[in-house]
Amino acid sequence: MSAPSPRRWAALALIATAQFIVIMDTSIIGVALPRIQQDLGFSQENLSWVFNAYVVAFGGLLLLGGRLSDLLGARRLFSTGWLILLAGSLLAGIAPEVWVELTGRAVQGIGAALIAPSALTLLMMLFGHAPKELTKALALYGAAAPAGGTAGVFLGGLITEYLSWPWVFYINIPIAIAALLATGPLMPATTSTRGSIDVLGTLTVTLGLGTAVYAIVRAPEAGWAAAQTWITLAVAAALLIAFIAIQARRREPLMRRSIFRTPNLAAANLTQLLLGGAWIPMWFFLNLYLQQVLGYSAFPSGAALLPMTILIMLGMIVLAPKAIGRFGPKTTTVTGLALLTAGMAWLSLISPDGSFATDVLPASLVAALGMSLAFIPSLGTAISAARPEEGGLASGIVNTSYQVGSALGLAAMTAVAAANGADRLGDLPALTDGFSAAFVGAAAIALAAALLAAATLRTRATAPADDVTASRG
């Protein structure tokens, strides 16, 4: 094995920055959404696509990103991802209308899907020679994700209030340029390998997920019983079934179906899917409640969510590993999901004349504690359940599960909210009823995840706390 790189810790800073940015880009737009809606003319139902366009592209292409990293070389793909993220950020910032904005967000998601798996591959190349250094490097890498989520909420409010909403996208541009300049000197050289790319599998899974989300988002306007809704859902199902069939026949598939025979892997991935489907709608509609009902401007709205996001970060880094070490990953996961359910149910009690101190803060902290306790052990279980040589594939699958669950959960809860009055801007009681219905729906998803985890996760599959913490991302 070659000698360790003397610049490996500087390289780790760049890898952690990559993880920070791809997660920040999911949260930084939250506070800016009302301004984006006003300037570009989004409807209340379609506003969620500013989020979904990113996560569908990100989640749908993560498996392809991992495959390309193996075939083309991690360093080359890492640079390509930054270049694409830069282009998408510029396009999203200058967007004059809805379709351009959504295209820019999708391009950002494509860049993130190339950056994330190649970053982890480079980290393993840099630190795989020394187990103690690898543990420390993975811990720092893992901590970058909650830091990105926290910073995104706060920076989104700060930028929207004192600059303008396009800067939530422009902020990526100087960071991407710096990353492109630093990649060559810092990152180890990687070689290409021979193999094929499952283009058809990539197209079917990404189009299938996007079509399903589109059908659910459009259902309140078109009607749940309308032929258009059911035809679109049928097309989505056909595409996803085609993806599964293609994977069974390919010699080098994006995702081998046999991996789900591994104990705990399928259960943990379903838990992650439902966790994303519960958490992201709560975060999305809490932003809208603060601004559209309580009348907060962008910066106070971002600041109002800071206690929640700080607790998530501390919970993931400090509390979750200790709980896993004492009670095991299954008990910690189920407890976290139960707390998340309780916090969301509490949030559903919001009122049109409520306040941050009584209607938002205590319930959001309970939900945040639940999220931090549930996420880390379920993610670690999914990754540790696979054989060591399949760790990259398992990581890609669980990331995909969470991103897909986020997109589908937000689409479904957007439909629920609209059906209960959230599409009536300016009518505070109607808006509150719609947002409350979304919180109830998110609580139901979290409860389903808790019951699923309790019934299907096996207690004997455990992972060391350090490894679990490090696997975030």
**Calpha distance 293→414 (Å, rounded):** 17
Q: Percent of the chain beyond pLDDT 90?
A: 36
**H or E element that contains 301:** helix 298-304
Same domain, 456 and 313: yes
Same domain, 236 and 289: no
In a domain, 131, yes or no: yes
pTM for this entry: 0.78
**Which of 7-16, 129-138, 140-149, 253-262 has the largest mean confidence?**
7-16
**Calpha distance 114→108 (Å, rounded):** 10
Encode pLDDT of 319-346 as tens digits: 888 888 889 889 999 999 999 999 999 9
37-60 burial code (b ≥16 CB/10 A, e <16): bebbebebbbbbbbbbbbbbbbbb
In a domain, 161, yes or no: yes
Among candidate residues 155, 180, 195, the one where a domain is terminated: 195
Residue 386: pLDDT band (50, 70, 90) is low
Same domain, 110 and 223: no
**Please, which residues have CB within 8 angstroms of residue 172's CB and are 6 or more apart in sequence?**
21, 25, 85, 86, 89, 108
**Please, which residues have CB within 8 angstroms of residue 195's CB and are 6 or more apart in sequence?**
67, 70, 71, 252
Q: Looking at the predicted structure, is the pLDDT value of residue 245 above 60?
A: yes
Tokens of 130: 């020394």
130-167 burial code (b ≥16 CB/10 A, e <16): eeebbebbbbbbbbbbbbbbbbbbbbbbbbbbeeebbb
In a domain, 242, yes or no: yes
Lowest mean pLDDT among 127-141, 260-274, 353-367, 439-453: 127-141
**Please, which residues have CB within 8 angstroms of residue 260's CB and are 6 or more apart in sequence?**
266, 269
Q: Determine the pLDDT at residue 348.
A: 95
Q: Determine the pLDDT at residue 305.
A: 80
Same domain, 311 and 406: yes
Mean pLDDT of the region 275-285:
88
Encode pLDDT of 179-193 as tens digits: 999 999 999 887 766
Same domain, 71 and 179: yes
Mean pLDDT of the region 384-388:
64
Same domain, 396 and 418: yes
What SS3 state is found at 44?
A: coil
Q: Determine the pLDDT at residue 1.
A: 45
Q: Determine the pLDDT at residue 179.
A: 96
Q: Looking at the predicted structure, is the pLDDT value of residue 466 above 50?
A: no
Same domain, 113 and 4: yes
CA angle 289, 333, 350 (to 5 degrees): 20
Same domain, 185 and 294: no
Q: Determine the pLDDT at residue 460.
A: 54
In a domain, 60, yes or no: yes
Same domain, 349 and 411: yes
- Tell me, what CATH number does 462's domain have? 1.20.1250.20
Which has more pLDDT, 99 or 132?
Answer: 99
In a domain, 254, yes or no: no
Q: Looking at the predicted structure, is the pLDDT value of residue 463 above 70?
A: no
**Which of 162-166, 204-208, 399-403 has the largest mean confidence?**
162-166
Q: Looking at the predicted structure, is the pLDDT value of residue 472 above 50?
A: no
Whole domain around residue 64: which residue ranges? 1-195
Q: Determine the pLDDT at residue 473.
A: 35
Q: Looking at the predicted structure, is the pLDDT value of residue 243 above 60?
A: yes
In a domain, 220, yes or no: yes
In a domain, 358, yes or no: yes
Mean pLDDT of the region 38-54:
84
What SS3 state is found at 296?
A: coil
Same domain, 215 and 289: no
**Please, which residues have CB within 8 angstroms of residue 99's CB and are 6 or more apart in sequence?**
none
- Residue 43's alpha-carbon distances to 49, 175, 215, 238, 332, in angstroms, are 10, 32, 16, 29, 40
Same domain, 355 and 459: yes
In a domain, 389, yes or no: yes
Q: Determine the pLDDT at residue 383.
A: 67
Q: Where are the alpha helices (DSSP H) in 328-427?
A: 329-347, 361-384, 391-417
Q: What's the number of domains the chain is made of? A: 3
276-314 burial code (b ≥16 CB/10 A, e <16): bbbbbbbbbbbbbbbbbbbebebbbbbbbbeebbbbbbb
Same domain, 294 and 381: yes
Lowest mean pLDDT among 217-231, 232-246, 457-471: 457-471
